[in-house]
Structure formats: structure tokens, C-alpha cells
Amino acid sequence: MNLILIAVISLGVIGLISAVILFVASKKFAVYEDPRIAQVAEVLPQANCGGCGYPGCSGFADACVKAGSLEGKLCPVGGQPVMAKVAAILGLEAGTAEPMVAVVRCNGSCEHRPHITKYDGAVSCAVAHATYGGETGCSYGCLGCGDCARACLFDAIHMNPETGLPEVDEEKCTACGACKKACPRNIIEIRPKGKNNRRMYVSCVNKDKGVIARKACEVSCIGCGKCVKVCPFEAITLENNLAYIDPAKCKSCRKCEPECPQGAIVAKNFPLRKPKVEAADPKSENSKAETSKTEVLSNAVPKIDLSKGTPKVEA
């Protein structure tokens, strides 16, 4: 009986000491978390897409609370309505961020980029890129296996079976960047939507020399530099045989578009250009005027009949 009592008392003392130790440790090593982090995380969409630049919605919420300002911070999925809720929780002003969208910088469809080999392997752009150069002569263009479409959480990008290229649904795209990360060729870029949803970009990422690039794809950039010369805002740069339009400098004047001999510059959501009216040639106009003047004078001069002795004047 004494042994049982001693064992019970010993276990009770050990438990009490352990509890005291745990209590002291919890107080000494406690990590304080601002309750507003949980409140902000609650209003976020919890997509955990990483489009905000942070590892998930909880990371974004923590950054918003600790930063003390929402300038430059945006949840691409929730947009400005969600950021307004975050601002109300934190007592801050909601920062304004320019809407972004995913852009596919490759126009090498089946029509423009003929296939020279046949790929027989795993349907994955990452695998195809790691194992060989692709079915076409362009080692920079889209592989067409659809990794970007599978990576999109919002059903905003699909493969077009006719062109073999991905197409972005601008209404669904949140610019989270998941498709950009999934593309091993880096042909997808997150760009500003632009004023009135209009934007211009070079739909090519081929860095080969002009002759090689043109042989591989009929609409590739050949690095001729004509677009660079006509741009009045210095928005186009030429590097490694490839032109690039800086969206921050581009004013959408569209002067570069007709200058591109390859049609590699895309003007998205712009109205159709009006056909140019050919200017009249002043020389031809003068000649027409002289001709009509001569006809008038010839009709005004009376005709004289000399077949008879007395000339008769016919009006």
C-alpha cells in the first residue's frame, strides 16, 4: 500500500514540475502575433497563388500588417475590392495598382512555324524542353504541351488546337503568374493591361540572328531595329537580336507596328486602322485641268467651211 502511495505522489510531483516548466517556457518563448493578421487573412480569397509576391495569403496578410502601408501591394485575385477591405481593417489607405494580365509572347502557330520533327514522350513542356529542342526549328518558341493551362487555377488560359498556342482569357486572368512560372521557355509575361485595355508588345522571344530566326518562323523578330528608330518615346530596345517594348514608356502611338517587316509587333484591343487615302498627284491633276481647258476652248472656236466660195460660219 505504501509503495502505491509513493508511486502516485511521485507521478503527481513530476507532473506538477513539468507543468510549471511548460508554463514558464510558454511565457518566456511566446511569439506574439498581431490579431489583425488573422483578420486580414480572413478577407483574402485564400487562393495561395503567389501572384502577390508572397508565399500564400497568410504571408501576404503578415506583410500588409507589418509594412504599415499598402502602397505597391495588391491581391491579384481579389483586386481592389479586397484591398479596400484590408485597408479598412488596418486603418490605412488602399494603394492603387495597375491591372496586369498574362501575355503570350509567341506567334509561331502551325501555319507560321512548320514542324520538322515529331515528339513522342510525356505531354509536358518541362520534360520536352529538358530533353530536346522542340518539334520546330525555333528553340525559343512555345512547345504546345499545355503546362501553363494546367497550372492556371482560374481556367483563364487554354490551348488552341488549331494554332497550337495558349490563349489567355483576359476576363478570367488574375495575373497571378502561375502560367509564367510553369513555362520553361519564358514566353509568358505579366504586363499591364494598359489604358482602355490596349497594349503593344513584341510577340517573339527568339534571340537568334535574323536569317536563322526567319527560317524557323515566318513571324519571328529578326532584330532589324526599324521599330527602335521610329519610336518617338524610346520605349523599344534591341538586345540579343530581339526587340522589346517597355510598357512603362510605350504611349501606344502604334508607329512601330507597320514598320515591322515580320508582323511580330502585336497591337492588342486597338480599333482597326482606317485605309490610307492615296494623295492625288499634283502633276496629274494639272494635266487633267489643262486637258479639260483645251476641250472647252476647242468647243468654243467656230468651225469655218472653206469648201465653197463664201465662208460659212457654223456655230
Please tell me which residue, 283 or 205, carries the higher pLDDT value. Answer: 205
* 257, 259, 261, 265: CA torsion to nearest 10: -20
Answer whether 90's CB lies under 8 Å from 65's CB.
yes
CB proximity list for 213: less than 8 A, separation 6 or greater: 138, 204, 206, 220, 221, 222, 223, 241
Which residues on adjacent β-strands are paired with residue 166? 159
Q: How confident is the model at residue 142 (pLDDT cuts 50, 70, 90)?
A: very high
pLDDT of the residue at 286: 57
Lowest mean pLDDT among 39-43, 66-70, 288-292: 288-292
Q: What integer is the mean pLDDT of 203-216?
A: 94
- With 60 as the cut, is the pLDDT of residue 208 above it? yes
Secondary structure in 3-state letters for 221-236: CCCCCHHHHHCCCCCE
pLDDT of the residue at 250? 95
What is the distance between the alpha carbons of residues 69 and 63, in angstroms, rounded to a whole number? 9
Domain boundaries, the chain: 36-90, 100-268
Q: Give residue-wise pLDDT tens across range 299-312.
A: 544 544 544 454 44
The predicted pLDDT at position 228 comes to 96
Range 29-52 average pLDDT: 82
pLDDT at 264 > cutoff 50: yes
Lowest mean pLDDT among 51-60, 251-260, 272-281: 272-281
* pLDDT for residue 167 is more than 90: yes
Which CATH fold topology does 36-90 show?
3-methyladenine DNA Glycosylase II; Chain A, domain 3 (1.10.15)
| Most confident segment among 21-25, 149-153, 275-279 | 149-153
Q: pLDDT band for position 314 (50/70/90)? A: very low
Q: Are the C-beta atoms of residues 231 and 210 closer than 8 Å to each other?
A: no
Q: Which tens digit of pLDDT belongs to each residue from 85-118?
A: 999 998 888 777 788 899 999 999 988 988 888 8
Mean pLDDT score of the chain: 84
d(CA 215, CA 212): 5
Q: Using 50, 70 and 90 to split pLDDT, how confident is the model at 49?
A: confident
User: Which pLDDT score, from 0 to 100, does residue 313 have?
Assistant: 46
% pLDDT > 90, the chain = 44
> CA–CA separation, 252 vs 247, rounded Å?
9
Amino acid at 190: I
* 46-55, 208-217, 238-247, 258-267: segment of lowest average pLDDT: 46-55
Phi, psi of 243 (to 5 degrees): -85, 145
Q: Is the pLDDT of residue 46 over 80?
A: yes
Residues 6 or more apart whose CB falls under 8 angstroms from that of 240 comprise 207
Pick the range with the lowest mean pLDDT from 36-40, 51-55, 140-144, 301-305: 301-305
Average pLDDT rounded to a whole number, residues 177-182: 93
> Is residue 34 over pLDDT 50?
yes
CATH architecture of 100-268: 2-Layer Sandwich (3.30)
The reported pTM is 0.71
